[in-house]
């Protein structure tokens, strides 16, 4: 690597992270124009409401998080820097085997799955009352954007 190239790559990564945005107004335009404000998030993405407390599977939670993110990017509520697209990222929910288990939302890139970053404990998001317009849905988006801005996920 030539002199100064590491500094240049760090500056480029910082620039990409700054370009990641959350636009709540765009999200509400989408849910309002499609009459989704009071639609249960889990029912919308899975076809059924949430299972009984403690029974939400990691696979279904991963699917909800992935599809929610893809929709948010598609409607312009989450803006990703070029060259990234929603399909470049993988969302998984991992219950883990810690003494006090958390259900962590983890984001990684498809081309670098070994780089994983914890976004949040999804237990707060997997409630039967979660609708497309609830603050918890916005919170997921804000935390994903914050993770993209502060992690190494956007480094080329």
Rounded Cα distance between 138 and 134, Å, is 7
Residue 62 lies in a domain: yes
Rounded Cα distance between 84 and 89, Å, is 9
Q: Determine whether 136 is exposed, middle or buried from the number of CB atoms within 10 Å of its CB (0-12, 13-18, 19+).
A: middle
Q: Tell the residue number behind the tokens 């190239």, with chain if given.
A: 5
DSSP letter at 139 equals H
pLDDT tens series, the chain, 156 aa: 455 555 555 555 556 556 788 999 999 999 999 999 999 988 899 888 766 555 567 788 888 899 999 999 999 999 998 889 999 999 998 876 555 556 788 999 999 888 888 888 877 666 667 889 987 888 889 989 988 888 878 876
For residue 54, the model assigns a pLDDT of 56
For residue 121, the model assigns a pLDDT of 80
**Encoded tokens for 51:** 């299972």
Non-local (6+) Cβ contacts of 137 within 8 A are 41, 68, 125, 130, 131
Rounded Cα distance between 14 and 21, Å, is 13
- Residue 154's SS3 state is coil
Rounded Cα distance between 124 and 18, Å, is 27
Residue 46 lies in a domain: yes
Residue 3 lies in a domain: no
Residue 2 lies in a domain: no
CB 64 within 8 A of CB 41: yes
56: domain range?
21-150
Rounded Cα distance between 137 and 12, Å, is 30
Residue 84 lies in a domain: yes
Q: Is the pTM of this model over 0.75?
A: yes
Q: What is the number of domains present in the chain?
A: 1
């Amino acid at each position: 690597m030539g002199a100064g190239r590491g500094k240049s790559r760090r500056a480029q990564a910082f620039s990409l992270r700054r370009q990641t945005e959350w636009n709540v107004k765009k999200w509400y335009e989408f849910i309002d124009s499609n009459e989704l404000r009071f639609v249960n998030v889990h029912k919308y993405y899975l076809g059924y409401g949430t299972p009984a407390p403690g029974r939400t599977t990691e696979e279904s939670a991963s699917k909800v998080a992935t599809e929610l993110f893809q929709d948010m990017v598609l409607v312009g509520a989450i803006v990703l820097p070029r060259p990234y697209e929603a399909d470049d990222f993988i969302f998984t929910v991992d219950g883990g085997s810690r003494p006090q288990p958390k259900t962590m939302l983890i984001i990684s890139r498809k081309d670098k799955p070994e780089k994983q970053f914890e976004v949040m404990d999804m237990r707060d998001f997997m409630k039967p009352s979660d609708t497309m317009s609830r603050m918890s849905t916005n919170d997921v988006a804000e935390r994903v954007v914050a993770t993209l801005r502060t992690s190494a996920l956007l480094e080329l």
